Structure 1
Amino acid sequence: MQGPETRASLLVSLNDPASEEAWNEFAAIYRPLVIRVAQANGLQYADADDLAQDVLTTVGRAIGTFESNCEGSFRRWLYQITRNLVVNQLTRGPFSGRRGPIGSGDSDIQKLLAQVPAADDQTATLFRLEYRRVRFQQAAGRVRNQFSDSVWQCFELTAIENQSAELVANALGKTPGAVRVARCRVLAKIREEIHSDDSE
């Protein structure tokens, strides 16, 4: 997957409903995230998929309300909208027999955007964790080609599969120190990539 556009150019693109590339980028980030959060809250996959489509549709209607001079990144703004929609729909129960996105009118959307989930809201917490997971996966995908297979394997086995440096070192014929250094190099590059994304 290509790196994200700058937030300003992505915003301009999203304001154009005909911009398939921008909407595909947005959907690639948020659709699987919304589906995972919805399933974790008890929805079947089909219902979670419907909810994700409702979220994307409503975001499409609300995109014109974004102000580029407000605090926080464009991505953070999209995250807030999406989180509020997920919390709103999930707290209504299993769709209550209702279909289609919430907020068909501008005033309904504005009310929705003004909602702030409670700090201890488990759905909001889960959504934040899933959002961070998606960002991590995307950043890892963008930096993967900067490392040898050996270094990447050290990173994957220790940081993702949670194996000890000693176990990985024995399996790969390396020292535990070399495994730790490899993991740290990759993690530093991923953090740098995420920070660069935030700075945009």
Structure 2
Amino acid sequence: MSDMLHRIEPVIPALRRYARALVRNHAAADDLVQDCLERAVSRWDQRREDGNLRSWLFAILHNLAINQFRRTATRGQHVTIDEAHEHEIGQNAVQEQTMIYQEALSKLARLPDEQRAVLLLIAVEDLTYAEAAKALNIPVGTVMSRLSRARERLQQEIEKPADNPMGNVVQLRSKP
């Protein structure tokens, strides 16, 4: 049991980052990681000894997230106003860095799920193509093509002019 904990523990921060990027909610991401760890511990004897532990954990997390997305799409997301945190209800960004961060997340969210997952695993979590392919249960060539398309599409999103270039500037009419 101690060996298992020593092997899993260093991967937890990366799992949390990936989960937060997927579900875009800190509490839901933490729940997803907890479910992933619970499943990994309960099925520890089912993993391959020669396999990569990191990609196995990411595969578990990814599959749990997909199942959660499917349930949410079927049932819809329900949050009572009493359970919602103030930051989840929404507030305007007060610092430029926060606005840039939100814009980057927004552009990332516009990517198709398959492309976003590959991009996050490769670029953020620093998995190899083979590890990402194993985690997503797809061929390495598919990982490479999805990554290429994701990078290209993200570049297009970044270069695209803003929807409202004037921001919140109010146009005033002058008197004739």
Q: TM-score, normalized by length of structure 2? A: 0.42
Between structures 1 and 2, the one with greater helix share: 1
Q: TM-score, normalized by length of structure 1? A: 0.38
